Amino acid sequence: MLDQYDPPFSWDGNVRRIDLLGLMMVFGAACAFGVYADTDIDASAHREPFRVLQSGKSPTPRDGQRDVSRQAVVRVQFSKPINPKTLTASAMQLFGPNGKPVPAYLQTDLTGGVATLTPTLLLEPEKFYTVRLAASIKDIKGVRLTPFTSRFKTSGRRPKVNRRFIFTRRKIEARDHNSCITIGPDGNLYVADTFGHIKRYRLDPKSGLAIDSDTAYHAKGDQIVDLLFDPEASAQNLTAWISYGRYGQQFGGAIARIQMQPFGSNKQAAKQDIIVGLPHDKLLHHQPNGMAFGPNGRLYQTIGGVTTLGGTPNWGMKETPLTAAVIVADVRHKHFSGGRIPCNVQTSAPTRYDPNRKNAPVRIFATGFRNAYALCWHSSGHLFTATNQNSIGHVPKTPADPVRKIPAINASPDEMLYRVIEGKYYGHPNPARHEFVLNGGNPTDKYDPFEVAEYPAGTPPHPKFDPSLIYNLRPGGGHSANGIDEYPADGPLKGRLLIAYFSGAKTIQTFAIDRPGHIRHEHALMDRKGNPHRFAGALDVAVHPKTGRVYIADFGTWKRPNFGVDGAVWMLEPIPPVK
C-alpha cells in the first residue's frame, strides 16, 4: 500500500491510495468518484491557474538537464490536485529522439498531487527527450492545466549489468488489487487483496510456478494490508495473523488471528479479532499496515498517520496517540490483555485507551512514521520500515507549536528507509503526542541533515530525531516504498533487503545492510539486458527461503472506477538458480 504515490488503498500520497476502494464498496462508484466529476467548462479564466510546479523536486529530470540516467523516471508535481481521469496517455507524454512517444507506465498518486511517467525500457544514450503535458489535464474543479514542456539529454554511459541482480520473470496469474504476499510454512504461496480474499497457490518445486490454487480465507469488507504466519505455525498448524481496516469508520482497524485449513479442504478459515479500535480515517487514506514478529516473540505493527502532514485534518480526522507510529504487543502470551479478547485500543470515547499507562497491553514503540507500509526484522537484529511522504502542495500543513514558536508549513519530503529503534522519533508530526517538527526542522542557516527549508532557520528538530537512522530512497527511484522483505536464501543477495516501489521506478530495489544496520549499497533487480524489472504497481514482495525465488504482489495501475488494472502475481527466478 501510496503518497508520493501511496498505494491505492491505505496509502497516502498524492493520489492517495485510494481508499476509494472502500468508498466504492460502501457507497458505490458514482458516489465515490463524485468529487472528481469531469466538466467541459474551462474555468481557468476565473480561477487560480493550474500548473506544473517548478522547484528543486519538480520536474525531474530538470528542464535542460544533461547526463540523465537512461533509467530515468519523469515526475511532475502540480499546484493543485488533478482529476486523475484526465491524466491519459495522450495528455502526458515523453517523446524520444524519433519524435514518437516512449512506451511507459503513467500514474498519479492517490491525492492527485504528483504524476509519474516510467519508461518500460532503457532510454537511448546521448539523446534528447521531451516531456509534454497538455491542457486536457484538469484539476478536480475542472480548471485546465497550463501546458508544460521540458527537455533533457540522456547519459552516454551504458549501465553495467551486474549479474548478481539478474532474474528472469514469469507471471503466475493475472489478478488485480493484490496487497500482500508471503510464503507459508506449508511451502504454498499466499496472496491477499484489498477485498478481503487470501488466495493460496500450490507451487511446483521445479519451476516455482503455481500448479493449483484455492481460497484460504475471505471476509467481505475487510481491506487486508498484511498477512504473516505465527512463529510457531507449521504445515499442520496454519496459524496466521492479518491486519485490516473497514471503510466508514474512524477506528475500524484490527489485528486478527486466523486458523487456516489445509490446501484443498474448501473450509473457511476461523478468525478471531485480537486487537480492535486501531485508528484510521473513514476512507482509509492511511490505516494500520504491516506487521512483524520480533526476536522477543512480540508483534510489531505500523499505524499510518491520519493527516497529510500532521496538522491540517484534511481527511476529516486529527492525529491520535496511536497514529503515525510503530506499536508493539505481546499478542501470543496467554495473559495478553488480561485474557480480555479482543483488546480495544480506541483512544477516543467511549473506550479512551491510554497506550502510555503502566502495563498497557498495546504500547507505542517508536513514532513519526507518516505511512509506513511494512516492517522487516533483519537477520542483523535491526527493524526496518520505509515510508511514503507528502506530495500535496500548499493546502495541508504541519501543526504549529505556539509555545516553541514553530510555524505551520507545507513541504514535500523524500521517501525514506528507517532503522527503527524504540523511543525514537522519525519525522511525521503528531500534536496528540506533542510532536510538532517535520523531519529535521531547520536548526541553522547552513545545511542540516534532513532539514525542511520551509521552516525558518533556527527551528530545532524533535530531540528524539536521529538522522543516522534514516536513508533517503528518492535518488534511487524510491517513490512510494511499500512491501519489504529480507533475502534469506544462499547466494550473492543473501541478507539484502528488498523493497517494492509502487510508483516512480516501479522496481524491486535491493539494499545491502551491514552489521550495525547501515545501508551500504542499493541495486534494482534486472533482466538479462540490464533493464530493471518494472511492474504496474508492486505493493509487496516475498522471497522463498530455499529457492531464492522472488514473488511480487502487483496491485496494478490505480484507475477509477476499476481500482487496480493489469495487476498480477509474479515470480522472479535468480540466474543462475540457487542450488
80 plus 177 within the same structural domain: no
Q: C-alpha cell of 160?
A: 553495467
Please, are residues 326 and 300 in contact by the beta-carbon 8 Å criterion? yes
281 plus 403 within the same structural domain: yes
DSSP tag of 349:
T
Determine the pLDDT at residue 13: 35
204 plus 149 within the same structural domain: no
Q: Is the dihedral of CA 321, 254, 221, 189 positive or negative?
A: positive
The reply to whether 5 falls in a domain is no
pLDDT per residue over 456-509, tens digit each?
A: 999 999 999 999 999 999 888 888 899 999 999 998 999 999 999 998 889 999
Domain boundary among 153, 175, 204: 153
∠ Cα 425 380 298 (to 5°): 65
Q: Which amino acid is at 260?
A: M
Determine the pLDDT at residue 47: 61
280 plus 363 within the same structural domain: yes
Determine the pLDDT at residue 566: 87
Query: Residue 512 — φ and ψ, nearest 5°?
Result: -85, 130
61 plus 107 within the same structural domain: yes
242 plus 116 within the same structural domain: no
The reply to whether 96 falls in a domain is yes
Residues 6+ apart with CB under 8 A from 164: 492, 493, 523
The reply to whether 320 falls in a domain is yes
Region for 352 from its dihedrals, namely left if φ exceeds 0, alpha if ψ lies in -120 to 50, beta otherwise = left
What's the rounded Cα separation, in Å, for the pair 571 and 126? Answer: 34
Determine the pLDDT at residue 579: 54
Determine the pLDDT at residue 567: 93
The reply to whether 79 falls in a domain is yes
Which CATH number does the domain housing residue 70 bear?
2.60.40.1220
428 plus 372 within the same structural domain: yes
- Exposed, middle or buried: residue 275 (CB in 10 Å: 0-12, 13-18, 19+)? buried
- Residues spanned by the domain of 88: 20-37+48-153
Residues 6+ apart with CB under 8 A from 185: 229, 233, 234, 235, 238
- Exposed, middle or buried: residue 575 (CB in 10 Å: 0-12, 13-18, 19+)? middle
What's the rounded Cα separation, in Å, for the pair 485 and 385? Answer: 10
Region for 285 from its dihedrals, namely left if φ exceeds 0, alpha if ψ lies in -120 to 50, beta otherwise = alpha
Q: pTM of the predicted model, to two decimals?
A: 0.86
Domain boundary among 91, 126, 153: 153
Determine the pLDDT at residue 470: 97
Determine the pLDDT at residue 6: 52
Determine the pLDDT at residue 26: 31
Determine the pLDDT at residue 561: 52
Residues of the chain with pLDDT under 50: 1-5, 8-46
What's the rounded Cα separation, in Å, for the pair 139 and 149? Answer: 18
Determine the pLDDT at residue 560: 58
Please, are residues 126 and 67 in contact by the beta-carbon 8 Å criterion? no
Residues 6+ apart with CB under 8 A from 357: none
Tally of structural domains, the chain: 2
Please, are residues 363 and 329 in contact by the beta-carbon 8 Å criterion? yes
The reply to whether 11 falls in a domain is no
What's the rounded Cα separation, in Å, for the pair 523 and 496? Answer: 10
Determine the pLDDT at residue 559: 67
The reply to whether 43 falls in a domain is no
What's the rounded Cα separation, in Å, for the pair 551 and 390? Answer: 28
195 plus 287 within the same structural domain: yes
Determine the pLDDT at residue 86: 92
Domain boundary among 153, 179, 198: 153
Region for 474 from its dihedrals, namely left if φ exceeds 0, alpha if ψ lies in -120 to 50, beta otherwise = alpha
- Cβ atoms within 10 Å of 122's Cβ, excluding its own: 17
490 plus 567 within the same structural domain: yes
Determine the pLDDT at residue 1: 44
Q: Which amino acid is at 200?
A: R
What's the rounded Cα separation, in Å, for the pair 512 and 495? Answer: 7
Closest to 133 measured CA to CA, from 185, 76, 210 = 76
The reply to whether 494 falls in a domain is yes
The reply to whether 14 falls in a domain is no
Which CATH number does the domain housing residue 559 bear?
2.120.10.30
241 plus 210 within the same structural domain: yes
Integer angstrom CA distances of residue 458 from 1, 7, 12, 410, 452: 36, 35, 30, 17, 11
177 plus 139 within the same structural domain: no
- Cβ atoms within 10 Å of 49's Cβ, excluding its own: 13
310 plus 458 within the same structural domain: yes
